[in-house]
Structure 1
Amino acid sequence: MQQISMLLGGFALFLFGMHEMGKGLELLAGNKLQDILEKLTSNKYVGVLIGAIVTAIIQSSSATTVMTVGFVNSKILSLTQAIHIIMGANIGTTVTGLLLTLDIKLVAPVITFVGMAMMLFVKKRKYKYAGTILFGFGTLFMGMNIMGEAVKPLAKNVAFTSLLARSSNPVIGILEGALFTAIIQSSSATTGILITFASTGIIEFSSAFYLVLGTNIGTCITSILSSFGTSKNAKRVAVSHVLFNVFGTIIFTIFALVLPVIPWIQSWTTNVAQQIAFLHTAFNIVTTLLILPLSNVLVEISKKIIQGKDHRDIGLSLMYLNPAAYHDTIPTIAGIKQESLRMLDYAKSNLQLSVKNLLKHDDDKAATIEFNEEVIDYLNREITKVTVKSMTNDLNKYQYKHLSYYLKSCANIERLGDYAYNISNLENAMYSKQIKFSNEAKMEIIEITSELEKMFDVVYESLRDNEFDMKKISKFSFKISELADRNRENSIQRLKSEISNAEAGLMYDKLYTYLMRIRDHLLNISRQYETIYQ
């Protein structure tokens, strides 16, 4: 009973340490991970390299695949780009296995203590995050040490060693490795446990071989779960991940049955823990080298399995954001951005339709404006809910500032949408009272709204590309202000010369109040972005 308690406690410490180390690495990396993935080129080799680097940084292929599925769902990455990243993620995750072969039993408690001291007493965030990494790293090895001590007596237990020996059967070993990894959702954790068993002499490499292959299939459960409620392409990413690892497992199983692969790996080193880490590394590198030239074939197979196309924008639904996955911060921020862009697009559409209706009444346009306003309000509510929930996650400074920014920008977009809707209501009032603008007034309205639409486009592109050119945006803002002042003065002159009447003049002034408020909110969206990097 004591051994079981120690084993469970050690396992809990091991998983906790792995989680803390990964969390610290992700927080220390800041928004660089998102920037790296978002600016990915279409070069397949660069994709694999980036996937490997990101995974090596955060020590979790599961986290990388979840991010990748989220980015594909948000249309930031293509299916082909995502597949290359996942191949790289499989290579990057082997770093954990290699680290676990280090013998640092004596210094692990000291590393844990230093990490905890940094977390508690250091003020600067980046040093706190570094402390979290050290704390997690030390705790991980302490957990391994406790597990090792707990299982030592089992080395003499014939029933237990016989049970492990069964895993030398390819089918049993692969299934056991896949099932256990699917339960704990970490191939690195399963590999760590196998390395612990190997270090205490409980398991031979021949028994661990197929268990390691199975872990690579079991780890796919995370990408499968993260693809629920996402787009067709995001689901295809998860399917491609499964196909990749199943193919690699089949190839390595055939190699092991036909060629002396196991004796060959054993000839490299007599240390069983190192043999397991080497196998884990070799599996992912060799499988990537074999499949990378055929990545387009993998794309086509995934399309055969997940058929059909995504529905077009139907308005009252989230297209790029999965509310259930709010705890996955990086893909959630990407989804929030894409949904914010949708809101901005609907708001611009309402401005255009409202002004066109103002110039020439059309009942169909009025109905579309009503629907668009409903969509804007819906998106604002849903984005706000997810953003507020995400702000309860463990966030670094930049992630928190990004979420705060999108919370404010959505409020600004919702307000400028309201003003576009107010223009439609203004038109309804004018139409019912038979109030009309003069031809000169109509030309002025066309001119100023043209500039406002250009400002909309620049803000949209800036938000999409994460790069605001405040000089360019300010120029549009200044020009719109000048036009508004000039046109209002012209309206007064038309009233004096009786070209226009008082009611039309009042409506004209209200219209310009709404247009200037729209300008103000576009300016707010742009200016507030600068606060992220202050």
Structure 2
Amino acid sequence: MNEKVQIVFGLLGGLAIFLFGMNMMSDSLQKAAGEKMRTVLGMLTRNPVLGVISGALVTAVLQSSSATTVMAIGFVSAGLMTLPQAISIIFGANIGTTMTAQIIAFKLSDYIFIIIFIGFIIGFTAKKQKIKYIGNTILAFGLLFEGIEIMGSVMKPLASSPFFINLIGKVAHIPVLGVLTGLMMTLVVQSSSATIAVLQNFASQPAADGITSIIGLAGAIPVLLGDNIGTTITAILASIGQSIDAKRTALAHCIFNVSGSLLFIWFVKPYASLITMISPKGNEVDVISRQIANAHTGFNIIMTLIWTPLLWLMVRIVMKLLPGKKERVVPLGEPKYLDDKLIRQPVAALHLVAQETLHSAHIVQRMFVKAEEITQKDSDAVLGTIRAEAAGVHELSEKINEYLAAVFSFGAITEDQASMATGVLLIQSEIDRIADLCRSIIENIAGAKNMKVKYSKDAMKELRKSMELIRRMFEETLVLMADPGKIETDSLKKEREMVMDIDEGMRKDHVKRVAKGKCDAKMTVSFNALLHDLDRMGSSCLNLSDTALKEINFNTLLQGEPDPEREELLQSSPHPESEEILQSGMDPESEERIPADAVRPKTRAKKVRA
């Protein structure tokens, strides 16, 4: 095979193994520590300095600034953090990503195959999922270095090529050409770590004297600057189609690296001298890999020190360049929060699903208010609205199911996250069921009207009381889901007992009214069906609270930046009227005490999913 073709194929093959190892290592680490990464990012973003530290730590662990940047953009888009917090994390990510170059500077060629073997054995034999991820991380680490070794071996002949030496000479002496070279390489490869690894390997090739580097540190630094500009394309691509703050975060990343490159391009030789002074001594060809790694680290540390005190200015710049847009009105049944761009990020995706679930619950909350209106007066318009809203909640449930199915299909979700997703589906199922029961009750009342018979005023009054109490239960359940400390679960159980007591009393009163001729006997079947629906709604409210607290801790999924619907919900408080009912057993709208013989056994309050 032609030598030039061998070199090209060797470079491409080595690069492919390197990128495969990088992606595999990043994915495995995210699966092993994804939730912890979110916790670190959440805890350490209270001020810019801590945000920088958290971004650096997470990127050093994940070995990918692109992964951290995309994660930050996703969190901003999902409302898990503010724009200044995300920008400070990206500043830190630029420092953390230099760890890859520092690791590559170590000569690990003698240990590559043992690292690969150890990683394979751990991943192949481990029973626990997290241990498998750790094994895959070690395996990927070995593959990464094997890719570097392959690229280094095939580049050796280039050092003796007159054409290539002449070409590199031009790039080394014209910094702008070096920047463009690094930029184009990173745009093609989509990984600054990969192009810097190629640069380190290439620079380690000796010139004709066998001592100096073929390109030298002063020639490598401009290429390094171009690499830093090129890596911003990942953030830009990740922000397409996302929220305005996500786009601003990507723009901040771009401004950080471009401004740094424009500054450093004027001081290449003095900067090279500084890096040579603080780096290990020896023949240039032996130490240049470490010098490039130090130059990369120094660049990002200096730019972070410059920009961190000016974070407020960066926020103003990106907000000026990308002004906010008016929020669009979401049609009924269309998701308000779900974002297909975040399907690959389970943490952010589950947060959005939780918000969407709460959004569908607010629709049901409105349905309750309208349902109470119908118990007081006939209204075909309100009936049509309730039907439309019930259909909208059902459509949202299907969209949430499809969204979570897509999250599962990408395979990046952990067992704990899968359990939480299942719990959210149970919650949404209960909300959908309550919406359907609410519609069924109102259609029952409307159906009686169409049959030219009506429930008596007393029956409607008792129905209204029961509906009001269930609405209070539902609202308190939502507050409990958003903030477990706001409501006591015992009060919900007592209110559930109250609903059953009222329903039992309604059945007895209906029989009495039929006997006295005040109610039509034909209404007994439909009235019993109506009471059965009320009973099921009360059970669903308890199911909601149990699932949200005992099975998934729904509140943790909602943690993030304030959401208007959630904040409105948390301003709610237990209704004093229902408290009075619980304490005295009195109906708030009448002086009649609920009959003692109307109390049903407490076993009826068990969790029901029918």
Structure 1 stretch displaced more, 311-320 or 118-127: 311-320
Alpha-carbon deviation of 1:43?
Answer: 2.0
CA distance in 2, matches of 1:447, 1:410: 22
Give 1:173's aligned amino acid. G
The equivalent residue for 1:70 is 74
1:413 maps to a residue whose letter is I
CA shift, 1:526, in A, is 4.3
1-structure distance, mates of 2:535, 2:133: 45
Shift of 1:494: 2.7
The one-letter amino acid of 2:420's match is H
2:436 corresponding residue in structure 1: 418
Question: For residues 183 and 361 of structure 1, do their structure 2 counterparts lie closer, same or farther at Cα, with a shift above 3 Å needed?
Answer: farther
Q: Please tell me the root mean square deviation across aligned C-alpha atoms, in Å.
A: 2.7
What residue ranges of structure 1 are gaps of 5+ in the alignment?
Answer: 463-467
Please report how far the alpha carbon of residue 58 of structure 1 lies from its aligned counterpart in structure 2 after TM superposition: 1.4
Counterpart pick for 2:537 among 511, 515, 518: 518
- Please say which of residues 119-128 and 172-181 is displaced more in the overlay: 172-181
Q: Normalising to structure 1: TM-score of the pair?
A: 0.90
Q: Is the 8 A contact 1:373 1:421 kept in 2?
A: yes
Counterpart of 1:347, as a letter, is V
Partner of 1:435: 455
Please state if 1:487 is matched with 2:505: no
Deviation at 1:211, TM superposition (A): 1.5
> 2:101–2:196: 8 Å Cα contact kept in structure 1?
yes
C-alpha deviation, 1:420, in angstroms: 2.7
- Report sequence identity in percent: 32
| Distance change (3 Å), C-alpha of 1:523 and 1:486 | closer
Distance in 1, matches of 2:531 and 2:488, equals: 19
Q: What does the per-residue CA deviation read over 1:278-300, in whole Å, with 9 as the maximum and x for residues that have no partner?
A: 12112222212211222222222
Q: Which AA in structure 1 matches 2:498?
A: L
TM-aligned CA deviation for residue 335 of structure 1: 2.3
Rate the CA distance shift 1:364–1:223 in 2: closer, same or farther, 3 A. farther
Amino acid paired to 1:490? G
**How many angstroms apart in 2 are the aligned matches of 1:20 and 1:448?**
54
1:495/1:344 CA distance change after superposition, 3 Å:
closer
State whether residues 73 and 233 of structure 1, in contact with CA within 8 Å, keep that contact through their aligned partners in structure 2. Answer: yes
Find the aligned partners of 2:382 and 2:177 in 1 and give their Cα distance: 65
For the residues of structure 1 that align with 2:222 and 2:85, how far apart are their CA atoms?
30
* Structure 1 runs, 4 residues or longer, greater than 6 Å off: none
The aligned residue for residue 588 of structure 2 is: none
Mapped to 2, the partners of 1:209 and 1:265 lie a distance apart of 10
* CA–CA separation in structure 1 for the residues paired with 2:181 and 2:231: 13
Distance 1:54 1:348 in 2: 40
Cα distance in structure 2, aligned partners of 1:60 and 1:485: 57
- The CA deviation at 1:109 is 0.8
Deviation, 1:149, is 0.6
Residues 301 and 517 (structure 1 numbering): CA distance in 2 closer, same or farther, change over 3 Å?
farther
The 5-angstrom pairing of residues 244-283 of structure 1 reads: 244-256=256-268, 260-269=270-279, 270=281, 271-283=287-299
Q: How does 1:176-187 map to 2 (within 5 A)?
A: 176-187=181-192
Q: What is the match of residue 217 of structure 2?
A: 205
Matched, 1:87 2:91: yes
Aligned length: 525
| Residues 452-491 of structure 1 aligned to structure 2 (within 5 Å) | 452-462=473-483, 474-491=489-506
Query: 1:14/1:511 Cα in 2 relative to 1: closer, same or farther (>3 Å)?
Result: same
Shift in Å, 1:487: 0.5
Superposed, which structure 2 residues align to 1:160-199 within 5 Å?
A: 160-168=164-172, 169-199=174-204
Matching residue's letter, 1:482: E
**Partner Cα separation in structure 1 for residue 422 and residue 131 of structure 2:** 24
Cα gap change, 1:274 to 1:503, in 2 (>3 Å): farther
1:293 and 1:515 map into 2 onto residues whose CA distance is 59
Q: Secondary structure at the match of 2:375?
A: helix
Looking at structure 2, the residues matched to 405 and 167 of structure 1 have their Cα atoms a distance apart, in angstroms, of: 58
Aligned-pair CA distance for 1:18: 1.1
What displacement does 1:104 show? 0.9
| Structure 2: distance between partners of 1:477 and 1:437 | 28
Deviates more, 1:475-484 or 1:79-88: 475-484
Cα distance in 2 for partners of 1:420, 1:180 equals 60
- 1:232–1:309 Cα contact (<8 Å) kept: no
Greater radius of gyration (CA): 2
Would the aligned equivalents of 1:14 and 1:144 in 2 still touch at CA under 8 Å?
Answer: yes
97-106 or 509-518, which deviates more: 509-518
Q: Tell me the equivalent position of 1:295.
A: 311
Q: 1:77 to 1:315 in 2, by over 3 A?
A: farther
What is the distance in 2 between the residues matched to 1:474 and 1:156?
78
On the 8 A contact 1:227/1:238 being kept in 2, the answer is yes
Query: 1:284 aligns to what?
Result: 300
Cα offsets for 1:278-332 (capped at 9, x unmatched): 1211222221221122222222222222222332444443333222542333332
Please name the residue that 1:143 is paired with. Answer: 147
TM-aligned CA deviation for residue 528 of structure 1: 4.1
- Please tell me whether residue 239 in structure 1 is matched to residue 251 in structure 2: yes
Q: Indicate conservation of the 8 Å contact 2:477/2:544, yes or no.
A: no
CA distances 1:380-428 after superposition (whole Å, capped 9, x unpaired): 2222222112212233322332333333333333222222332332343
User: Which amino acid in structure 2 is aligned with residue 283 of structure 1?
Assistant: F
Specify whether residues 370 and 163 from structure 1 end up closer, same or farther in structure 2 by C-alpha distance, changes over 3 A only.
Answer: farther
1:160 match: secondary structure:
helix
Matched, 1:24 2:41: no
SS in 2 for 1:319: coil
